[in-house]
Structure 1
Amino acid sequence: MCGIAGVWRKRNPIDANDLSDVIRMMQALVHRGPDDRDSWSNNRLALGHRRLTIIDPSPAAREPMLTASGQGVLVYNGEVYNYRSLRETLQAQGVVFRTVSDAEVVLEALHHWGPEKAVPLFDGMFSFAYFDARNNALWLARDRLGIKPMSVADMPERILFASEDKAILACNGFPRDIDSREMTLRLAWQSRDSSYSLFDRIERLPPAGLWKITDGGIEKRRFWHVLDVLETARITGDGSSDAEHMATLEALLKDSVGLHCIADTNVATACSSGVDSGLITALAKPFRPEIHGYVVDPQLGRSEAEDAERTGRHVGVPLRRVPVDRDRFFELWPRVIWHLESDGWHASHVGLLALAEQCRADGVKVLLTGEGADELFGGYPLQALSMKKWRSWSWPRRLLHSKRSLDRRFEQQRRAPYKLSVGGHSQMERSMVLRALSPELNFLQTEIFDRLEPVTPPADRAFLGSCLYDLYSHLQDILHRHDRLSMAASVELRVPFLENRLIDFAIHLPRWHKYRDKTGKWLLRKVAQKHIPRQNVQARKIGFEMSSEFSAGTETLLRGGFLRDAMKWPTASVEDLIQLARREEPSRLRLVGMELFLRLHAGGETTGTLTEALHAAARDRS
């Protein structure tokens, strides 16, 4: 896991200012790669790399990495877990390797097969910049679901790219303007973090982005999308028994966890009281007998530490509690926002950073977690609630309506098919939302629903569509959060559920294997019952909660702050918003989080001064 940075000159050669900017970018990314660094340049391109050594820690695996001919150059962030099998294929075709690293396999695959053929073969999480001197083309890419990040700024004379926005902001003279539309969209609760920056002039590669940069400009492509690979005939024609699907899922999970345990360093797990991380912890034990887990232990409100330890005892994996009190919360909250480059809208973000910092203090560089299971296997209650919108088409309810009325209602409802679909009450409301908010996300809801047309009844179609849509909405925020906050502590967070074969298996499961007997993740729970305590498997999903008391009182920071001026709110409205934030924790976290973001990036304040401001606000409240 690493940090990458680069400058591509459109016309003039690379100069001393470009090289200095690469150094600045690398320094801004030191948390992503504290173990090593290096750079490379030619007349057109300058590359920098910060290295966190996970696989093959030898100096020979240092990046930027060049082919033996010097015609291919790579800077790479992430892990391609099937690198050993790809290496064997390349060796059979005559490629000679100098290291045992996955980075060299990625480089040689790109150079030998070409990016368009090689990238779809990569099974893992990655972003990279690859330069092919044979045709003077620079390729930027990101894994299929966007686990690893890439930011880009297309300027008049050059293109800047890096693992995080803050590296581009570090370039000499780069403007630090905030994009007011992006700020508004986040306040409107749109899922934006993974693919969109809050900074003007910076964009982010989308999931599965594969961009080719030449003298002709940037050619933007994608190498994978669920709409491109979804085969509805596999869903409607599924004839496998429960036992067959259970056996397949268990085998896929074991294979994936085994691949994710490959590392020349310590590996641990983030083990909550839930099914997903508990199952990953249990399956990792045979591959890493020495493995231990971590659980966040909030000192206010409810803690899941005791329930998580039940799983740990059951599978023979000791768990270490990571306590978070209010002082620690106020210390970490501004730092969370600094690393997220966003508003830090959920209190659990602080818990994740605390956990990652404890890992690093204990010498752990790799952390396995259970993210992605809810999206792939139907674990969110809102996915099930999407089915209720379509009850009128179920038997015998459809007998109560005429075919004409059902057809008219269907056409209206397909435009907002899921529980969380925006603008679901009227076509006028829907049109207003699409015009003003995120058309690329909100149109996608209907595109997915339409793609699932052969699936019946409509309630099943809506449930499966909701799961697929979550891959591009809710999951994107989660993956962004996990990358930024784990790497803030120089820890690589791995997500075994998001392995290529598991993704393919899950998106083609019928509804009844995901949701049955009023139970989400039905099939996954059946597998989990063989490995973790039944009490934890059967528990109601609650998510990672942190008490609203952690942030209570901080809403007064909105008074006289930067957010008021940025949004051009009148003073009276600010007081109303403060009262709203006092009553509602989600509003408080969004609004205060955005205020902290603006104070950091527009006001030049430090995380330390913002911690003091949070304490002062809390004291005034009491």
Structure 2
Amino acid sequence: MCGIAGYLAFQGFEPDSARRTLKAMCDSIQHRGPDAEGLFVDGGSGVALGHRRLSIVDLSETGAQPMDSPSGRFTIVYNGEIYGFLELRQQLMDLGVSLRGTSDTEVLLAAMDLWGVHKALELSHGMFAFAVYDRKQNRVVFARDRLGKKPLYIGLKSSKLLFGSELKALRAHPEFGAPAACPRAQAQYVRYGFVPAPLSIYRDVIKLPAGTLVEVQLDAPPTSADALSERIESFWDLRQCAAEGLAEPYENEDHALKAIEAELGRAVQDRMVADVPVGTFLSGGIDSTLITAIMQEQAPSKVTSFTVRFEDKDLNEADHAAAIASYLGTNHHEVTATPRMAFDLLDSLPAVYDEPFADPSAIPTLLVSQLAQRQLKVVLSGDGGDESFGGYERYARMLAMQKLAQKLPRPAAAAIASAPGGVSKAIMSVLRPALPGSMREQMTPDRLSKVADIVRHPDLRSRYNSMFSLWEPSAALRAQVNDTGVYRARDLPDGLSDTDTMMMLDSGIYLPEGILVKVDRASMSVGLEVRAPLLDDRVVAAAWRSPNTLRYNGKVGKVALRQLVDKRIPKSLYDRPKQGFGVPMNEWLRGPLKEVAQSVFSGDSTVCEIFDPALLQRRWREHLDGSRNWGPHLWFVLAYSFWHRRWMQ
């Protein structure tokens, strides 16, 4: 696990100057690889490849990068891990390939030598992003793993191509200059709280999407970032994986459950391969509990586990995690996320995330990463279970809203969505009896307004997009942008059920652009590698081959994972409502964050040059007087303001 950076100067460059520039780019992401640095500079070709190393597999110099392939054709800088690489290594050696060390990087390069870049990617299962210089074809190939665990930014500046694991690496190049924000990216951000690939927050920089590669010929440079984006091609497609799984399902539930357990057991075992100790994040939920249980079964000694304790009882799962850890016999540690600790991290969030990023759970994720890194370099996590196995509670809510949409005329829904707080309370008292039972007891005026805003849309895709959209860009932003939202625009296979459609959208958008961004930047900011067995592509494929009754059965999700946990621990230890991993943002904005927020929403803030100040101030007043809860919406703006202050002023 490492950080990569570099650039291509298509007219060549002076090597000494290039080396200084490359070192500055690598220094900016030293936190991703604090153990060592490696630089490759070829003035004639104009290729500069830099690497920061976090030593986990093959700690010797034979694992150092940049690394040449056995034939000398390829030179790579690579961030990530290839799981099951020892089997691929043996396969190569059986074919007569001579290897010096035991690193997965060397195995990946040898596979490229023997079979080419595309075939090597097909054989490589894991999390990775890399840039590889191919001398024979005079090109550089960039690639990113199937599910999007590892990031890769690519930008065009002053006739040079810049790349890196994080945007700060590109900014460290002297010709990056003063960046301009991308209006489309701003529109996506105010909807979702993140910027989805291939967009980045900057006009002339793209993010390589999950499961794709792009080739750059050194004698035919791309003319713009948009032109480069059009040349991106997939080497693995989640849509095809799902379509094939649904077309060729397992014979029955028993067969499917055994296949899932076998694939997951292998995935955990593969991710425990390291030349340093490996621990685990244990929140007490189904996913992390299952991963920790399987890991403890396979480990020769006690596994070290970590969790976050919250002072807010509605958010706290630490007691449950401690009970599970005691039952499994792990060496358990926890950190308490106090409001003071969280506020102390606010100023560091823009530096950690580079782009505006509004998931409040980034704060506890950063805290637990800091806790784990004090003892270990590698942990396993339970990320990925919700998306492949139907675990999100919003699936049940959305299906209930599908039924409500058949009863509530769209004009009436639109009127309710735009009603003031007091009117919403009166409307709610009238409509409550007509709501589905699953929604009736939890309904508040705020939730009623959001529900009405969702059901006023004409179809599932539009409604799900609305569920994720906190701000409508046309209302929130001063500049008008033609944006429909990626949840509506993303291509999907035909014949998906409503639940499958939502799972597919979450797997392709929310997972790589939200969840995995949060975990990667938080963990790597302190030099910690996080491995996610449930994100093994073969586990994902097994999930899509399974009957719906083992994923979301209409009442509960993650049925298969629940059954696998049942085999390992008493149900009383884990069977409870999901609490999430967030912070009490509504209360914080009325309390300890009030002064900071007031300065942003006062009308004098730079943010009010981007957002509609009248809308911001109205929602801020409503939030303060308690007539509405606008906490998540206002946090989106605050997070943007923190980012803007750090990177654009």
Q: 1:588 aligns with which of 627, 634, 637?
A: 634
- Equivalent in the alignment of 1:29: 29
- State whether residues 465 and 485 of structure 2, in contact with CA within 8 Å, keep that contact through their aligned partners in structure 1: no
- Shift in Å, 1:177: 2.3
Q: 2:205 aligns with which of 202, 207, 220?
A: 202
- Equivalent in the alignment of 1:245: 256
- Equivalent in the alignment of 1:466: 502
Q: Which residues of structure 2 form unaligned runs of 5+?
A: 222-227, 407-454, 470-474
- State whether residues 33 and 54 of structure 2, in contact with CA within 8 Å, keep that contact through their aligned partners in structure 1: yes
Please give the residue correspondences for 1:180-219 in structure 2 after superposition, counting only pairs within 5 Å.
Answer: 180-181=182-183, 182-189=185-192, 191-193=194-196, 195-214=198-217, 215-217=219-221, 218=228, 219=231
- State whether residues 14 and 46 of structure 1, in contact with CA within 8 Å, keep that contact through their aligned partners in structure 2: no
Q: 2:288 aligns with which of 277, 298, 304?
A: 277
Are positions 1:332 and 2:377 aligned together?
no
The separation in 1 between residues aligned to 2:555 and 2:128, in whole angstroms, is 37
Q: 1:422 to 1:315 in 2, by over 3 A?
A: closer
- State whether residues 301 and 546 of structure 1, in contact with CA within 8 Å, keep that contact through their aligned partners in structure 2: no
The separation in 1 between residues aligned to 2:91 and 2:204, in whole angstroms, is 41
- Matching residue's letter, 1:235: L
Q: 1:377 aligns with which of 389, 406, 423?
A: 389
- Matching residue's letter, 2:498: A
The separation in 2 between residues aligned to 1:239 and 1:220, in whole angstroms, is 33
- State whether residues 620 and 630 of structure 2, in contact with CA within 8 Å, keep that contact through their aligned partners in structure 1: no
Are positions 1:308 and 2:341 aligned together?
no
SS at match of 1:285: helix
Q: 2:610 aligns with which of 561, 567, 572?
A: 567
Are positions 1:52 and 2:54 aligned together?
yes
- State whether residues 5 and 26 of structure 1, in contact with CA within 8 Å, keep that contact through their aligned partners in structure 2: yes
Q: 1:479 aligns with which of 516, 539, 547?
A: 516
Please give the residue correspondences for 1:46-85 in structure 2 after superposition, counting only pairs within 5 Å.
Answer: 46-85=48-87
- Shift in Å, 1:199: 2.5
- Equivalent in the alignment of 1:413: 459
Q: Deviations over 1:52-76 (max 9, x none)?
A: 0000100121100112443210110
Please give the residue correspondences for 1:217-228 in structure 2 after superposition, counting only pairs within 5 Å.
Answer: 217=221, 218=228, 219-228=231-240
- Shift in Å, 1:216: 2.4
Q: 1:194 to 1:239 in 2, by over 3 A?
A: closer
- Equivalent in the alignment of 1:493: 530
Answer with 520-529 or 556-565: which moved more.
556-565
- Equivalent in the alignment of 2:483: 437
Q: 1:562 to 1:169 in 2, by over 3 A?
A: farther
SS at match of 2:93: helix
The separation in 2 between residues aligned to 1:438 and 1:55, in whole angstroms, is 44
Please give the residue correspondences for 1:498-509 in structure 2 after superposition, counting only pairs within 5 Å.
Answer: 498-509=535-546
- Matching residue's letter, 1:216: A
SS at match of 1:75: strand
Are positions 1:349 and 2:362 aligned together?
yes
- Equivalent in the alignment of 2:553: 516
- Matching residue's letter, 2:360: A
SS at match of 1:229: helix
- Shift in Å, 1:124: 0.4
- State whether residues 344 and 589 of structure 1, in contact with CA within 8 Å, keep that contact through their aligned partners in structure 2: no
SS at match of 1:471: helix
Q: 1:84 to 1:337 in 2, by over 3 A?
A: same
- Matching residue's letter, 1:287: Q
SS at match of 2:642: helix
- State whether residues 279 and 305 of structure 2, in contact with CA within 8 Å, keep that contact through their aligned partners in structure 1: yes
- Matching residue's letter, 2:259: T
- State whether residues 302 and 329 of structure 2, in contact with CA within 8 Å, keep that contact through their aligned partners in structure 1: no
Q: 1:470 to 1:517 in 2, by over 3 A?
A: closer
- Equivalent in the alignment of 1:579: 621
- Equivalent in the alignment of 2:414: none
Q: 1:565 to 1:280 in 2, by over 3 A?
A: same
Answer with 260-269 or 580-589: which moved more.
580-589
- State whether residues 194 and 356 of structure 2, in contact with CA within 8 Å, keep that contact through their aligned partners in structure 1: no
Aligned length: 567
- Matching residue's letter, 1:585: G
- Equivalent in the alignment of 2:112: 110
The separation in 2 between residues aligned to 1:478 and 1:116, in whole angstroms, is 27
- Equivalent in the alignment of 1:597: 643
Q: Deviations over 1:368-419 (max 9, x none)?
A: 110110000000122233434665999xxxxxxxxxxxxxx9x963653747
The separation in 1 between residues aligned to 2:481 and 2:187, in whole angstroms, is 14
- State whether residues 111 and 132 of structure 1, in contact with CA within 8 Å, keep that contact through their aligned partners in structure 2: no
Q: 1:563 to 1:532 in 2, by over 3 A?
A: farther
Q: 2:268 aligns with which of 257, 265, 273?
A: 257
- State whether residues 317 and 579 of structure 2, in contact with CA within 8 Å, keep that contact through their aligned partners in structure 1: no
The separation in 2 between residues aligned to 1:38 and 1:419, in whole angstroms, is 44
- Equivalent in the alignment of 1:398: none
- Shift in Å, 1:508: 2.7
Q: 1:312 to 1:422 in 2, by over 3 A?
A: closer
Q: 1:163 to 1:239 in 2, by over 3 A?
A: closer
- Equivalent in the alignment of 1:160: 162
Q: 1:420 to 1:539 in 2, by over 3 A?
A: farther
The separation in 2 between residues aligned to 1:328 and 1:463, in whole angstroms, is 38
Q: Normalising by structure 2, report the TM-score.
A: 0.82
- State whether residues 308 and 318 of structure 2, in contact with CA within 8 Å, keep that contact through their aligned partners in structure 1: yes
Q: 1:176 to 1:352 in 2, by over 3 A?
A: farther
Q: 1:584 to 1:536 in 2, by over 3 A?
A: farther
Q: Deviations over 1:262-281 (max 9, x none)?
A: 11112111101210001111
- Equivalent in the alignment of 2:409: none
SS at match of 1:243: helix
- Matching residue's letter, 1:547: P
- Equivalent in the alignment of 1:612: none
- Shift in Å, 1:255: 0.8
SS at match of 1:538: coil
Q: Normalising by structure 1, report the TM-score.
A: 0.85
- Equivalent in the alignment of 2:134: 132
Q: 1:517 to 1:535 in 2, by over 3 A?
A: farther
Q: Deviations over 1:478-505 (max 9, x none)?
A: 0011111100010001111011210111
The separation in 1 between residues aligned to 2:155 and 2:3, in whole angstroms, is 16
SS at match of 1:49: strand
- Shift in Å, 1:325: 1.5
The separation in 2 between residues aligned to 1:227 and 1:125, in whole angstroms, is 19
- Equivalent in the alignment of 2:572: 535
SS at match of 1:342: coil
- Equivalent in the alignment of 1:235: 246
Answer with 76-85 or 411-420: which moved more.
411-420
SS at match of 1:320: strand
- Matching residue's letter, 2:508: Y
- State whether residues 311 and 536 of structure 1, in contact with CA within 8 Å, keep that contact through their aligned partners in structure 2: yes
The separation in 2 between residues aligned to 1:414 and 1:277, in whole angstroms, is 30
- State whether residues 257 and 283 of structure 1, in contact with CA within 8 Å, keep that contact through their aligned partners in structure 2: yes
- Shift in Å, 1:299: 2.9
Q: Among all aligned residue pairs of Structure 1 and Structure 2, give the percentage whose two residues are the same amino acid.
A: 27
Answer with 197-206 or 142-151: which moved more.
197-206
Q: 1:517 to 1:569 in 2, by over 3 A?
A: closer
- Matching residue's letter, 2:192: W
- Equivalent in the alignment of 1:426: none
The separation in 1 between residues aligned to 2:199 and 2:465, in whole angstroms, is 24
Q: Deviations over 1:278-330 (max 9, x none)?
A: 11111111333231111111234442110111111121113211112122111
- State whether residues 250 and 256 of structure 2, in contact with CA within 8 Å, keep that contact through their aligned partners in structure 1: no
